Amino acid sequence: MSDKNLLKTITKLNRDTKEGTVLWDSDRRAPSSLSGGDNLLGNMYSTRVLGKNIRLYKYEYKDYYEEESFHWSTRFRLELVDHWGATTFIFPEDTSIYDLYNSVMYQTSNVKDFLDSYLTDEDKKEGEPLF
Amino acid sequence: MSAVRSISFTNIYYHLYLEVDLGIVSTYKQNSNKVKRKELELLKKLFTEWDLETWANVLGVFSAFFAFAAFIVGLFVKSEIDKLKTKYIFDKRIKVHIKKLQEASATINSLLNDYDENRAQIRTEIGVIQAELEDIIPKLGAGQRRKCKKLVSFIKGRKKGDFVQQSNVSNSSLFTHISKYWYRVFQTSYDDIWVIYNLLIEIIRQIENIKKNTDNSL
């Protein structure tokens, strides 16, 4: 399994999410893969692709720089899970997972429909250059 | 039967002779005697008579050789110094480069949420990516530059074209596929932007790995 194929999988998921081929569900419950000190930030998103359950979420964890001192750092996790919600594979950390998370948030929040219905045609034309 | 007997080096000449066992007298012994006499004469002029002209000739030959060798060593040292200088600048700036490329990929990603509306901004953003990569390319090694150069030349080709709407691209018949590639000379499609995004992600990963290797090395 090469790094390149993993990256390509993540970017393909991203593209399919934007095009509406892959649809995600959101959930507020913390996933079982988070350890005691970690906290879920925002929603957890899940989908099913080719019979595999995929989970995506953002979490914060304690980043220790000395024995007793730490600061909170943020990470994104994309993982495959089985039917009971247990993690079977975690994708390596990458910029593309952050981009995928933003695409999933955009899709699940229906921002586009909201903007289209909220802004009238006149509102959209306002501020556009004359030429 | 013939056999190679010996290889003799005299001054700047070397002679290779075949000596035939049937008794044909070779010129080897006669020539080697001549050469030995010349060598002895030269040594006599240098160390016994201290002939300045002979010294000047001999030293001239040696100095020409050493000057040429020094030139070659100088070129090698210069190239190593240039590499060190580039590596130093790259080590200082690598974090900034990674951050800028990550910001660019995030911007392209958000613009792709509504490709048709954001075509002008996408054209601007890929120009920014091109400029950033052109800044990075001289700082990378020869093998590491390939991906960056590939993306830069792809962006240069696509930036000039007309950014067509996503809905205009059809993927049905062979004729449509061929006609799409004919028009690719003049048009940039939604798929092209994804190609740029995918290559950019790979380059970010590559530069992050370079940084990790640098951090873990001496």
Which residue carries 């949420």 as its tokens?
A: B113
Which chain B residue has its CA at the smallest distance from A4's CA? B202
Tell which wins on pLDDT, B131 or B36.
B131
Contacts of A18 in chain B (CB under 8 A): 112-113
B34: part of which helix (H) or strand (E)?
Answer: helix B28-47
Range from A71-85, A94-108, B172-186, B190-204 carrying the lowest mean pLDDT: B172-186
pLDDT number for residue A119: 82
According to the 3-state scheme, what is the secondary structure of B122-146?
HHHHHHHHHHHHHHHHHHCCCCCHH
Least Cα separation, residue B113 to chain A (angstroms): 6
Q: What is the DSSP letter of A31?
A: P
How far apart CA B212 and CA B195 sit, in angstroms, is 26
At B196, the pLDDT band (50, 70, 90 cuts) reads very high
pLDDT (tens digit, 9 = 90+) per residue, B144-175?
889 899 999 999 888 887 787 776 555 555 66
Contacts of A102 in chain B (CB under 8 A): 106, 109-110
Averaged pLDDT for residues A2-16: 89
pTM of the model: 0.71
Beta-bridged to residue B203, according to DSSP, are: none
Q: Pick from A108-122, B1-15, B30-44, B176-190 the range whose average pLDDT is largest.
A: A108-122
How far apart CA B217 and CA B60 sit, in angstroms, is 46
Query: Of A3, A7, A103, which has the smallest distance from its Cβ to B113's Cβ?
Result: A103
Averaged pLDDT for residues B77-83: 89
ipTM of the complex: 0.84
pLDDT (tens digit, 9 = 90+) per residue, A27-44?
988 888 888 788 899 999
A98 in Cβ contact with B106 (< 8 Å) = yes
Q: How much of chain B, in percent, has pLDDT values that exceed 90?
A: 33
pLDDT number for residue B141: 79
Whether the per-residue pLDDT at B1 is higher than 50: the answer is no
Whether the per-residue pLDDT at B177 is higher than 80: the answer is no
Least Cα separation, residue A67 to chain B (angstroms): 23
Which chain B residue has its CA at the smallest distance from A5's CA? B202
Whether the per-residue pLDDT at B43 is higher than 60: the answer is yes
Q: CB–CB of B205 and A106 under 8 A?
A: no
Whether the per-residue pLDDT at A14 is higher than 50: the answer is yes
